[in-house]
Structure 1
Amino acid sequence: MNQWSEAFHYLPLLLKGAMVTLEITLLANILSTIISFAVGLLRLSKRRYVRLIASIYVEVFRGTSLLVQLFWLYFALPMLLNIQITAMVVAVLALGLNYGAYGSEVVRSSILAVPKGQHEAATALNMGSKLRMMRIVLPQAIPLMLPSFGNLQIELLKGTSLVYLITLSDLTYQGMVLRTFDSSKTAEIFMMMLILYFLLSYSFTLLLRVLERRSARGRY
């Protein structure tokens, strides 16, 4: 018990790291959602070259390691373009691009899951493609997307644990520093990290459930 009371002195630093983790997660989620819808819609384009470009992006980011993507954006890209990119920007970009590739498939498959009769009825009402998508297709597709998007958000949160390797002082970084400083409290430090990660992910789960209930009632 005494070991735990001593380990609790490290909690403020872990909470500081958790706030950085939460900031990265929220920003990367916004970016990945935008990319998911943009690329998902592009993959449904009637133009073959547009579908090809979108598909290449998806396959590249789904087929390569997130860690390698982080390192490439942080170390290689600045050298190639002769620019300086902050670690925070790199983390948000890498996570957003990576999970946006996965999310685009969720968007594409959910739109395709809307019955063809709905498309035909909208066409019969002389609706243009954009109006048909906004008024008919997306309101039915979004509820189908939510469970998968929720899983991706939680996976993205867990993926942020890699950003400490590019010097960001997130929750994992703080835990590793504290463990190096006081290795006798390794078990307690990692247990507190597990609890904080769980609380963050469970918060996203609760938010998702609220959104699912609202979408079921036709409110977004």
Structure 2
Amino acid sequence: MNLDFSQIVPYIPFMLEGVWVTLQFVIISIIFGFILGSLVALVKISDVKWLKLLADAYTSIFRGTPLILQLLLIYFAIPQLTGYDISPFLSAILTFGLNSSAYVSEIIRAGIQAVDKGQREAAEALGIPYRPTMLKIILPQAMKNILPALMNEFITLTKESAIVSVISYLDLMRRAQVVASDIYRNFEPLLFVGVLYYMMVMVLTIAGKYVEKRMRASD
């Protein structure tokens, strides 16, 4: 077999730096997506029809178009339409955060609606306002049910983060491409970063199972 991993050894520190570069925008995107998704989910279960229509349209657009198209639109359209020279880092955060929030909103909405209606009715009978009812009674129960789905969304986001290489953001995938073009070999650097992606996903998977186990134990 025509393989020579010794050629990528000098580039290993360069590629390892890509782990933190990738995690930087993924973590921020996850937080942004979760907060925005939670707000959109609350709008979807509200009684304000025009807000519900806007939330449904938002979710439909971001779930119904390719992620790479959204990334390219944000990266190229914002400078063209506004004159603001957006950075690849900010483009990645906005794209992945907005996209993730569309999926997260559906997950949270389903989780809230899966909670027994009697919980809310009992809170109303006791005179507990809507916000405390949602924050202290409904959402904690919903979170226990939707945690696996949320972790799956975050894992998917981590894997799909590789597409930011198309806008020259120096994440793991882009660094593998840089190394490949420098040594004229593709398989070795791609395999190396593939192992790194797999390790990140496994860490997320183990962390998710641990958190889920702790939440189940607290029942």
Please state which band the TM-score falls in when normalised by the shorter chain: over 0.9
Supply the distance in 1 between the matched residues of 2:101 and 2:72 (Cα, whole angstroms): 18
Equivalent residue letter for 1:56: A
Equivalent residue letter for 2:134: M
On the 8 A contact 2:7/2:183 being kept in 1, the answer is no
Equivalent residue letter for 1:150: M
1:82-127 Cα shifts (integer Å, max 9, x gaps) = 2221110110000000011011000000000001111111111111
On the 8 A contact 1:7/1:188 being kept in 2, the answer is yes
Paired position in structure 1 for 2:178: 177
5+ residue gaps, structure 1, are none
TM-superposed CA distance for 1:183, in Å, is 2.3
1:208 and 2:187 equivalent? no
1:198 and 2:182 equivalent? no
Supply the distance in 1 between the matched residues of 2:77 and 2:62 (Cα, whole angstroms): 16
Supply the distance in 2 between the matched residues of 1:141 and 1:174 (Cα, whole angstroms): 40
| Superposition pairs of residues 124-135 of structure 1, within 5 angstroms | 124-135=125-136
On the 8 A contact 1:95/1:159 being kept in 2, the answer is no
| TM-score normalised by L of structure 2 | 0.95
Supply the distance in 1 between the matched residues of 2:9 and 2:144 (Cα, whole angstroms): 42
Equivalent residue letter for 1:33: F
Supply the distance in 1 between the matched residues of 2:218 and 2:29 (Cα, whole angstroms): 27
| TM-score normalised by L of structure 1 | 0.94
5+ residue gaps, structure 2, are none
TM-superposed CA distance for 1:173, in Å, is 0.3
What do you get for the CA RMSD once the two structures are aligned?
A: 1.6
Paired position in structure 2 for 1:110: 111
Supply the distance in 1 between the matched residues of 2:204 and 2:56 (Cα, whole angstroms): 29
TM-superposed CA distance for 1:23, in Å, is 0.8
1:159-208 Cα shifts (integer Å, max 9, x gaps) = 11011111110000000111111123x22212111100001111111221
The runs of 4+ residues in structure 1 deviating greater than 3 Å are none
| SS of aligned partner of 1:46 | coil
1:28-72 Cα shifts (integer Å, max 9, x gaps) = 111111111011111111010010011110001001111111111
Supply the distance in 1 between the matched residues of 2:188 and 2:125 (Cα, whole angstroms): 64
Aligned residue pairs total 218
| Superposition pairs of residues 72-91 of structure 1, within 5 angstroms | 72-91=73-92
TM-superposed CA distance for 1:8, in Å, is 2.4
TM-superposed CA distance for 1:5, in Å, is 3.0
TM-superposed CA distance for 1:217, in Å, is 3.0
Paired position in structure 1 for 2:155: 154
Equivalent residue letter for 1:154: I
Supply the distance in 2 between the matched residues of 1:27 and 1:73 (Cα, whole angstroms): 17
On the 8 A contact 1:25/1:157 being kept in 2, the answer is yes
